[in-house]
Structure 1
């Protein structure tokens, strides 16, 4: 039997690792992940062929969510895992068979480095970025389970205020699929704030074909979970990120006794 050919590595010396782990000794039951936190591009891929400034748009990353996640990690003493690379390199919240795992265009912008990508090049992005990031989440969840520690999983995202010319009125949205326990509790708590328009499976919803983190890490383990989306204009600067982190930390503390 002929051996499978080796896939050349993508990341080089000096490239950042595919994830950042915050607060690895935190005592909180909350565990936060951010699949689109970063906008790094491996040096071997240059600028992906993008026009200047495009990587800074919402197509390149979830604007503001890393800042919210960092503050939540500190506020709640919670383990938090941030994905480092741009979603235009590989989208770490897509199933491996998804046609949008590595996009050739996003919101009207072509990504030349992704066009007609050879199978080995696709595999290198999966092996060097996607798989290590999710392996670290699995490791964290396994460790917590082995130590008998409860886990409330929140995957953090942000969304652009308008898409395809349509304004999005929600300040935030809670997303879920088969298990709505935590999502509905958080939805009700956010609505009770009185100053928020809260999306219920808006502006997106979770499915096995469009998402990876919730079906695999949340539903697959039977953990209470929610995907939380925050509108990007509300967390584009440090003040907005801090305000949302304080609000969410207060709500998460109030919800915690219901699930632990």
Structure 2
């Protein structure tokens, strides 16, 4: 079956892009590509059990709450995707198999099996294009009013992946431009609340820096991708502590 764009997101589903503090005064521009595990009504349960839809394969648990805490603390604009990464992973280009993966860790994803070119294009047009167009528009508007932009993406990762435990608690990721990541790592070393490492548990070789390249490197803007181990932000208390800690690191890096 060929999907048409309007079928993917109905009027009841609403916009795929959430923008908060659109006129935030901080130079930090927060982006959360994997903020939600919600599925557009058209897709039903995507052929997956509830435990899979609640797990890290469908979203980055806790990431949006942490991003919102930072946004409030810094008065920073926040852009987030309102639908699950299972439909389209907005941190992957349309050409990447990871944009609409057929498997994720231990799960097969029936809703992504044997997609046609037309189906892939419809999802790209419905979710990826408007999401990144919204970010481009914000950067353009900020430039017009002489406001700097530092791209900061917020993610979370599972503490056990393919049966292997991950010791790292906080990752500062970057691609070719490490300017802001270097400052964040220096700030974290001076206040070592969490085990923090560079380009862990993922790095550029894993294809995770797409948003940084698209909006940071291509515009000459400083940027960093922050990865938080999701067991540390599984409840309100943990999310609050992490948001305050990251807000402090960001402010120190801005001051530097």
> Which residue of the other structure, out of 8, 12, 15, is the alignment partner of 1:14?
12
> Which residue of the other structure, out of 65, 87, 90, is the alignment partner of 1:89?
87
What is the CA deviation profile of residues 117-154 of structure 1, one whole-angstrom value per residue up to 9, with x for unaligned ones? 12221111111111111110000011111111111110
Change (3 A) 1:209 1:252: closer
Matches within 5 A, 1:10-159: 10-159=8-157
Alpha-carbon distance between aligned partners in 1 of 2:3 and 2:252, rounded to the nearest angstrom: 50
What is the CA deviation profile of residues 135-184 of structure 1, one whole-angstrom value per residue up to 9, with x for unaligned ones? 10000011111111111110111110011111111110011111101001
In the alignment, structure 1 residue 257 sits paired with structure 2 residue 255: yes
The aligned residue for residue 170 of structure 2 is 172
Paired residue secondary structure (1:153): strand
What is the CA deviation profile of residues 202-234 of structure 1, one whole-angstrom value per residue up to 9, with x for unaligned ones? 100125955420111011111110001000000
Whether contact under 8 Å (1:207, 1:215) holds in the other structure is no
Count of paired positions: 254
Q: What is the RMSD computed on CA atoms of the aligned residues? A: 1.6
What is the CA deviation profile of residues 46-100 of structure 1, one whole-angstrom value per residue up to 9, with x for unaligned ones? 1110012211101010010000011111111110001111111111001111111
Change (3 A) 1:87 1:250: same
Q: TM (normalized to structure 2)?
A: 0.95
Paired residue secondary structure (1:134): helix
> Which residue of the other structure, out of 217, 232, 235, is the alignment partner of 2:230?
232
Structure 1 residues not aligned, in runs of 5+: none
Change (3 A) 1:195 1:27: closer
Q: Moved runs in structure 1, 4+ residues, more than 2 A?
A: 5-9, 206-211
- Bigger fraction of residues in helix: 2
Structure 2 residues not aligned, in runs of 5+: none
> Which residue of the other structure, out of 194, 197, 210, is the alignment partner of 1:196?
194
Q: TM (normalized to structure 1)?
A: 0.94
